[in-house]
Chains A and B, each alone.
Chain A
């Protein structure tokens, strides 16, 4: 009985989490344009999706921005983590505290502040501002993931490498980097996730030339969301589900638990 209550409870929570997603998926097959009327089963929206330039263009923008921003944040953040790790304590905590500001600060404040920055520098709102803004909220997540790995690393390893005749760069690539790699990868994945998912900051920093998918969807929610977007998100859902299953199965096979635990997104 207790077990049943527990399972029922878990079921309810997941029902709550997945109800809207079910709505999206069901509506992507709904022939009627209205959200709440069932007009028969159709694949139309999927084929129409392929011809909708606005949606496809913003999908490309989203991916380009996410990839560029994540790569740059990963490089910048990893270097920063190594630097910060080697700092004296006071300096370190000062830098870290400032780094966390974009995470702690409400997104809307970050968005507005970046908008004021770009306006003050008279920058054109577009790809560049979007990427800059996304980098600035992604870097902290990279640092956050790399720093603990540096702490866990055996400090003597590098000394040993140097003693054995490696130069600094070799020591870094041969010893440090492999050690912190899981953190770097997690940081990168988190950056991609946050960047793809972001709405608020993109809302304040996008321009007439580049709109991410969230912005396109936002302007749709103000009149009527096209079922084409439902089709797109169903596709994204299936893709992410597949990737996660593959990753998890591979992970389970390698039998190295906890490797991704902190990881993909928290």
Chain B
């Protein structure tokens, strides 16, 4: 429409370069470098040599004749391979959580979209409302519910069953994921389904399709874009979550997010390895996204659908 208005994006592009591109480049830089020890003659030391020097100087007060320099290395990326089981375990749990979200959310979104307009608004509001509560508190409340002496076991106790081991299991982690991300599944599904006109369904029925056929041939294909974005919006945060597993999984089921946290602000400080794991996680997610995008029958207009 007019060329000059393009410059309105100028400040943002500058912003984007500094706060989106540079940080990602930094992750790359950290992932491929390490602080390597060098001796006085600038000779790089192996782990054994360093240990030997350390032992030699252990009894003295003198400073080690060792300096550290940042050097390029493949080691970080290579050692990530060792933690791939953690990544796939996270992906597996996230996948289960996504599937459960889809199974729970799909019918609900469908029912919702067939409500009267005013009830639709109400139900939509009720689904969004829990998201305004801090997610840590909600997860913490699940601890109260699931514990051995928690509310659920107490209720079971009243009718004489249990207690069940619910907390500190993988199931609890999946539950936490489902709980936290269910609205992210329902809302995109719902917004796609409101666009399916009742007439379309009626037309299919008039043409002799049974309710199952209507569902598989009309409703599901038409809601595909919603399914795709719902899956992404649940799967991505679920894979990378790092606090749910600690609270509900008891720290015995470490997920990839916990592993990254452990390297940066946790008990095993190693930001280079942490950056390498983040890089791998990022690539993994982009791969997964390209798969779900294919669900979407090549509809290029992705804007707005993320929501």
Contacts and interface: CB of A to CB of B under 8 A. Distances in A.
Classify A-B as touching or not with yes or no (CB < 8 A): yes
Interface of A: 6, 9-10, 13-14, 16-21, 23-24, 27, 35-36, 76-77, 79-80, 82-87, 95-96, 98-110, 112-117, 120, 132, 135-136, 139, 144-145, 147-148, 155, 158, 168, 193, 196-197, 199-200, 203-204, 213-214, 217-218, 221, 225, 229-230, 233, 236-237, 240-241, 244, 248, 251-252, 257, 261-262, 264-266
Given A109-B278, A251-B121, A95 B303 contact: no
Contacts of A87: 6, 9
B104 A105 contact: no
Interface string B119-132: 00111111111111
A36 B15 contact: no
Given A104-B236, A266-B191, A113 B129 contact: no
Closest 7 CB pairs of A and B: A83-B9, A106-B240, A80-B12, A113-B23, A20-B141, A83-B8, A136-B19
Nearest to B24: A113
Contacts of B4: 168
Interface string B126-154: 11111111111111111111010111001
Contacts of B140: 221, 225
A80 B306 contact: no
Contacts, number: 246
B21 interface: yes
Contacts of A17: 126-127, 130, 179, 182-183
28 contacts: A10-B111, A18-B130, A23-B145, A36-B151, A80-B13, A82-B8, A83-B6, A83-B9, A83-B10, A84-B9, A87-B9, A100-B302, A100-B306, A106-B257, A108-B261, A112-B278, A114-B23, A139-B15, A144-B307, A197-B132, A214-B135, A217-B137, A218-B243, A221-B139, A237-B129, A251-B121, A252-B118, A266-B187
B26 A117 contact: yes
A199 B134 CA distance: 9
A112 B274 contact: yes
Interface of B: 1-13, 15-16, 18-24, 26-27, 30, 104, 107-108, 111, 117-118, 121-145, 147, 149-151, 154, 179, 182-183, 187-188, 191, 194, 232, 236-237, 239-240, 242-243, 247, 257, 260-261, 264-265, 271, 274-275, 278, 281-282, 285-286, 289, 302-304, 306-307
B273 to A, nearest CB: 12
B1 A155 contact: yes
A204 B261 CA distance: 9
A213 B134 contact: yes
A82 B5 contact: yes
Interface of A is mostly: helix
Contacts of B21: 98
Query: Is chain B's interface secondary structure helix, strand, loop, or mixed overall?
Result: helix
B191 A233 contact: no
Contact of A21 (B24, B27, B133): B133
Given A79-B12, A117-B26, A266-B188, 4 more contacts: A20-B145, A132-B19, A148-B304, A257-B117
A162 to B, nearest CB: 9
B24 A104 contact: no
Contacts of B16: 95, 98-99
Nearest to B149: A36
B237 A106 contact: yes
A107 B145 contact: no
A105 B23 CA distance: 12
Contacts of A252: 118, 121
Given A102-B20, A221-B140, A112 B260 contact: yes
Contact of B3 (A36, A77, A86, A107): A86
A52 to B, nearest CB: 15
Nearest to B118: A252
B134 A113 contact: no
A95 B13 contact: yes
Contact of A113 (B27, B149, B232): B27
Residue of B129, B239, B285 with most chain A CB atoms under a 10 A cut-off? B129
Given A221-B140, A237-B133, A261-B191, A13 B242 contact: no
A103 B122 contact: no
A257 B117 CA distance: 8
A86 B2 contact: yes
